[in-house]
Amino acid sequence: MTEPVITVEDVCKNFNSVQALKSISLQVQPGEIFGLIGPDGAGKTTLIRIMTTVMSPTKGKVNILGWDSDKQAQKIKDNIGYMSQQFGLYNDLTVLENLKFYADVYQLSSNQWQQRLPHLLDFSGLAEFIKRKAGNLSGGMKQKLGLICTLIHTPKILFLDEPTNGVDPLSRREFWKILYTLTSQGLTIVVSTAYLEEAERCTKIGLIHRGELLAWGSSQHIKQMIPQKVIEIRCSDNRKAMELLKQHYHSHSVSFFGDCIHVFTGDAENLRVQLKIFLENNKINKIITEIHPPQLEDVLLSLIE
């Protein structure tokens, strides 16, 4: 097995009385896209800040590319790219001027910059917009510009904190295509997101909630963590059915999932029949039930409850 490029060991972070991270341990292998998935305030940004050496942990150890984050922070900084949640683009500067600004920050020589630029513009699709002011780019294009600014010094690991937040689905898909291209060239990526459908696109994911890493592994692995199956129910009156199920089947996890209701159970076949009869007896009509393996959202909800 190859050596991990990121090792996080028993990391805790306290902000006064707030325990933002509680004993997080994980590893990321080279070439992976590691997704940090969790709701607002889960601790994603705090963990990314600690991994990028912007912040020190209260307790625990972080090793990036073989360097200790406490003792060799500069080495780490030189070899990673970090696109923070409020990544700073200069709206009054053009695409090209923004890129040049970051090339200067990383002290790239004119030669290095000339060599790097066409490639970055090419795969991001921003070549034809180099003279446009960053402030006049669409949300998706801004994120792509932010991405290539963080790639200017050819980092080995890229940390992206909710890079597609507020970006439309089509641009999000394009953004992910770029991420795949980058990993095929050997880059390792850590990306945080609140979009669960993006979790499916990662090689490995870490589910984080209230500072705890609830699960870590491939999405396939995480889905198998819970033995239950999902009974999906569609019916004439979702709200009423939900109320009834919450009252009478409160020992099961029952939740809305899009326009249907999901019920977790270890005994799907039997419960499916029971629930159908129960709802029919309570004047719920047009009941359709199906049994599915759990989705990531189901697993997350079940682990949180």
List of residues contacting ligand ATP (CB under 6 A): 15, 18, 20, 38, 40-46, 85, 194
8 A C-beta contact, residue 223 and residue 299 = yes
Q: CB 198 → Mg ion: shortest distance, Å?
A: 15
For the chain, the C-alpha Rg in angstroms (whole number) is 23
Q: CB 211 → ligand ATP: shortest distance, Å?
A: 7
Q: CB 113 → ligand ATP: shortest distance, Å?
A: 32
Q: 55 or 93, CB closer to ligand ATP? A: 55
Instruction: Look up residue 111 and give its two tokens.
Output: 């030669």
Contact residues for Mg ion, defined by CB under 5 A: 44-45, 85
Q: CB 83 → Mg ion: shortest distance, Å?
A: 12
- Residue 20's binding partner among Mg ion, ligand ATP, none (Cβ under 5 to 8 angstroms by kind) is ligand ATP
**Three-state secondary-structure class, residue 60:** strand
Q: CB 75 → Mg ion: shortest distance, Å?
A: 26
Q: 207 or 261, CB closer to Mg ion? A: 207
Q: Which of 214, 156, 152, 142 is nearest to 189 (CA)?
A: 156
* DSSP per position, 155-205: -SEEEEESTTTT--HHHHHHHHHHHHHHHHTT-EEEEEES-HHHHTTSSEE
Q: 84 or 228, CB closer to ligand ATP? A: 84
Q: CB 10 → ligand ATP: shortest distance, Å?
A: 18
Phi-psi region of 66 (alpha: psi -120 to 50; beta: other; left: phi over 0): left
For 228, half-sphere exposure in the C-beta direction (CA atoms, 13 angstrom radius) is 20
Q: 44 or 272, CB closer to Mg ion? A: 44
Residue 116 CA, chain-centre distance (Å), reads 28
Q: CB 86 → Mg ion: shortest distance, Å?
A: 10
Q: 204 or 262, CB closer to ligand ATP? A: 204
Q: 44 or 153, CB closer to Mg ion? A: 44
Token pair 């090689």 is found at: 203
Q: 46 or 53, CB closer to ligand ATP? A: 46
Q: How far is CA 154 from CA 69, 187, 205, in A?
A: 20, 9, 24
Q: Which of 97, 106, 81 is nearest to 137 (CA)?
A: 97
Q: What are phi and psi of 81, to 5 degrees?
A: -115, 140
- Residue 73's binding partner among Mg ion, ligand ATP, none (Cβ under 5 to 8 angstroms by kind) is none
CA distance 242 to 251: 14
